[in-house]
Chain A
Amino acid sequence: MVDAAAIDRPLRDFNPWPAVIVVCLVCLAVLFLAPTLGVLLSSVKTTRDIAFGELWTIPDTLFLGNFGEVIANPAVHRYILNTILVTVPATAASIALGVFAGYVFSKLPFRGSDVLFLILVSGMFFPPQVILIPLFRLFNTMGLIDTLWPIIIVHTALGIPICTLLMRNFFATVPNALREAAILEGANEWQVLMRVALPLSLPAIAVLATLQFTWIWNDFLWPLIFTNSDEKRTIMIGIVNLKGQYSVAWGVQGALSLIASIPTLIVFLFFQRYFIKGMTMGAVKG
Chain B
Amino acid sequence: MKGVRAGSRSPIFCGARRMEQSNRFWRTVLLAAPVAVFTVFVIWPLLSSFHYSFTNWNGFNREFDYVGFSNYAKIVTDKLFLNAAINTVIWMVAAILLPTLLGLGLALLIDSRVPGGTMFKSIFYLPICLSAVVVGQIWVWIYQPDWGLLNTVIGLVSGEEFRYPWLAKPDTALGSVIIAWAWQQTGLSMVIYLAGLTSIPEDLIEVCEIEGATAWQRIRMLIIPLLTPATVVVIALSVINSLKGFDILYIMTGGGPFHSSDTLAMHMYNESFKKYLMGYGSAISVVLFLIALTIIRIYFRQLRRVDEIYG
Contacts and interface: CB of A to CB of B under 8 A. Distances in A.
B109 A6 contact: yes
A6 B108 contact: yes
B54 interface: no
A28 B26 CA distance: 53
Interface in A93-122: 97-98, 100-101, 103-104, 108, 110, 116, 119-120, 122
Interface residues of B, number: 113
Interface in A15-67: 17-18, 21-22, 24-25, 28-29, 32-36, 38-39, 42, 50-56
Contacts of B132: 218, 220, 236
A33 B250 CA distance: 23
B27 A284 contact: no
B5 interface: no
Interface string B124-140: 11111111111101110
Given A2-B202, A42-B141, A125-B292, A101 B34 contact: yes
A225 B273 contact: yes
Interface stretch (B6-14, B74-82, B92-100, B142-150): B142-150
B156 to A, nearest CB: 10
Nearest to B196: A284
A212 interface: no
B276 to A, nearest CB: 11
A217 B131 contact: yes
Nearest to A220: B247
A151 to B, nearest CB: 12
A279 to B, nearest CB: 6
A190 B109 CA distance: 48
Interface of A: 1-8, 17-18, 21-22, 24-25, 28-29, 32-36, 38-39, 42, 50-56, 97-98, 100-101, 103-104, 108, 110, 116, 119-120, 122-123, 125-138, 141, 153-154, 156-158, 160, 164, 183, 188-190, 193, 214, 217-221, 224-225, 236, 239-240, 250, 253, 257, 260-261, 264-265, 267-268, 272, 275-276, 279-280, 283-284, 286
Interface of B: 19, 22-27, 29-31, 33-35, 37-38, 40-46, 48-49, 51-52, 57, 59, 62, 106, 108-116, 120, 122-135, 137-139, 141-142, 146-147, 149, 152, 183, 186, 188, 191-192, 195-198, 200, 202, 205-206, 208-209, 215, 218-219, 223, 229-230, 233-234, 236-237, 240, 243-244, 246-247, 250-251, 264-265, 268-269, 272-273, 278, 281-282, 284-286, 288-289, 292-293, 295-296
